[in-house]
């Protein structure tokens, strides 16, 4: 998988993209991340990437010319010879909500170009270059750099061989529409709190049932809205009936 990130603050990505799972995925050759400075594609001595908005108002707007040049450059950087399309993503509060399903969708792509907005936004005409717009939540951030990091991390960890244990991703929260079950490790007793007996019983079926019940219970208590969209089995529905107040 190849990902090109377009930003005016490339330094924000140096640590994030080189550590942990993202760093290991690149070392293994299953992920390539390239970060491009949009200012490098701006004309003039001062490499200006923003200007005052037409119609007046506060703030500055990112100019279309350097962004278009950066997008075209990123598309040309693609190394894979596969036939899959490149998808150009703009991070914006107006975009489609980013979910685990969208992360799975992106993980199946061969090439992503992520455009990070800044200031008051990007010239609307740039939308003609964008495949889709993505929002990571209903709040305002300083720029699109943090959303880009979230998208890359969520998608890359789903790549084959990105994780040490492939089952780890399948057990994550939101993988099947539910929150994850509680986790425990050594010591067995900590501050008078004990690890649930079932987890040290050695009975794998009882452990599976306990974990599924705790996942459903946690989702029902903390995010009941997720249950309405989750695909539940007959066993799940029976567990929920026993959990009902």
Catalytic positions, written as ranges: 93, 120, 157, 172
Annotate 70-91 with DSSP letters as a single string: HHHHHHHH------PPEEEEEE
The whole-angstrom separation of Cα 74 and Cα 198 is 52
d(CA 90, CA 82): 23
Closest CA to 161 of 123, 107, 106: 107
What lies within 8 Å, CB to CB, of 132 at 6+ separation is 87, 88, 89, 90, 95, 96
Task: Calculate the CA dihedral of residues 194, 196, 200, 203 and round it to 10 degrees.
Answer: 170
Beta strands in the chain (DSSP E): 2-7, 32-37, 50-51, 61-62, 86-97, 111-116, 132-135, 189-190, 193-194
């Amino acid at each position: 998988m190849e990902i090109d990130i377009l930003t005016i603050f490339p330094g924000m990505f140096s640590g994030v993209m080189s550590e942990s799972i993202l760093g290991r995925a690149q070392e293994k050759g299953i992920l390539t991340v390239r970060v491009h400075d949009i200012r490098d594609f701006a004309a003039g001595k001062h490499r200006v990437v923003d200007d005052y908005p037409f119609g007046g108002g506060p703030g500055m707007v990112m100019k279309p010319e350097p962004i278009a040049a950066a997008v075209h450059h990123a598309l040309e950087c693609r190394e894979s010879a596969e036939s899959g399309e490149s998808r150009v993503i703009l991070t914006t509060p107006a975009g489609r909500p980013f979910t685990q399903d969208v992360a799975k969708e992106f993980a199946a792509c061969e090439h992503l170009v992520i455009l990070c907005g800044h200031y008051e936004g990007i010239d609307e005409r740039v939308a003609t270059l964008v495949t889709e717009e993505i929002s990571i939540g209903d709040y305002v951030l300083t720029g699109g750099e943090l959303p880009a990091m979230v998208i890359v991390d969520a998608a890359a960890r789903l790549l084959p061989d990105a994780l040490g244990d492939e089952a780890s991703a399948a057990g994550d929260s939101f993988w099947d529409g539910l929150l994850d079950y509680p986790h425990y490790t050594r010591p067995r007793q900590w501050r008078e709190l004990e690890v649930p007996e079932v987890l040290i019983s050695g009975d794998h079926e009882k452990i599976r049932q306990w974990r599924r019940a705790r996942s459903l219970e946690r989702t029902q208590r903390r995010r009941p809205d997720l249950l309405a969209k989750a695909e539940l089995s007959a066993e799940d529905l029976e567990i929920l009936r026993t959990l009902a107040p």
